[in-house]
Each structure stands twice: as structure tokens, then as C-alpha cells.
Amino acid sequence: MPNTEIELNPVDYVTIGTIGPKGQRTFHLQAGKGTQVVSLLIEKEQAWALSEAVKELLDDLDKRYPNPDGNPTEIDVKTLDMDLREPIEPVFRVAQMGLGYDEDRNMVVLVAQELVAAQEEENEIDAVEPGVVRMWCSRQQMRALSLHSLETVQAGRADPRQNGRVVYYWT
């Protein structure tokens, strides 16, 4: 049994945001339904990978299963409120994420699984079940998340490959 199991079905919003100055930013994946706000800690690379995976999934879905409501999944992120909402109290740090699609409901599910370390007691390893959060989103919400995630990642250092280090090239 997972420590935490949260189902937001459907979400009212989903976003990625950061706290802290460039080079020391903490990335958060956040979703909410009604008054419930769920924040999760993620890595910058996870934000970038999620953005790419969502884009690829939605592009594939648009080809294979045209949006039944006729609305395009393309969206102008600048018209949406993609800021993190208070309180920003992470439930857990994310180890891995997965995406799924429910054709009957035309909903995309984002599943985030908790990063847990096995606890060793007297030569026995107790496997701790990771927490899980499922966020059910519309295609438009996921497209906005993908675009906003990419913008958020790119808003860091001018050259993110340096990752806080000075790189010298000799020719």
C-alpha cells in the first residue's frame, strides 16, 4: 500500500514552477482540484523530459484520435495563469512519471511516483511502497503544461549545460 495515494480527477489546473534564484531553483509540479493543492518536487531534467513526452503524446493523439469536441489542443500559454499556488508544501520528491490516455473520456493522466529509499534493518531490507499522485487533465491543460515547462526550464542560466560551472575550451 502506498504511503500517499492522491487522485485528482479531473484537475482544475496543472503547472510547473520554480522557487529560488537562477542556479538554485527548486522545481515544483503542482495540480489542484477545488481547494486541494498538491505540490511535488521534481528535477529540472524531469521538467524538460515531461515537456517533451507530453508534446510527443499529444501530437500522436491529435493524429490518431482527433479531439472529439473539435477544440484544437494548441493553446496560448500567455493567456493562462500558470503560476504556482499557495501553499507550496511538497507532498514528496518525484522519482518517475508516466503518461496515459483514456480514449473514452478524452483525458490524459499524469502519474507521479515518490522517490523512496529502502530502509535496512538488521540485514533485512524493508521495501517502502512509494506514494502516487494521479492527475487527470484535458489535452489543452497538458499542452499548456508542456509549453510552460519548456519556458520554465529555459528561463534559467543562459547556457544550462554549464550547470553552475565555468567551462573553458582550448583551441
Whether 170 is covered by a domain: the verdict is no
Whether 169 is covered by a domain: the verdict is no
Spell out where the chain has E strands: 5-8, 13-19, 26-33, 36-42, 90-102, 107-114, 119-121, 124-126, 132-137
Whether 168 is covered by a domain: the verdict is no
Spell out where 54-167 has E strands: 90-102, 107-114, 119-121, 124-126, 132-137
In this prediction, residue 67 carries a pLDDT of 74
* pTM listed for this prediction: 0.81
In this prediction, residue 40 carries a pLDDT of 97
In this prediction, residue 75 carries a pLDDT of 74
The domain of 17 spans 5-162
Question: For the chain (length 171 residues), average pLDDT per consecutive 10?
Answer: 83 94 91 96 95 94 80 72 91 96 94 82 64 95 94 74 53 46
Whether 55 is covered by a domain: the verdict is yes
Whether 118 is covered by a domain: the verdict is yes
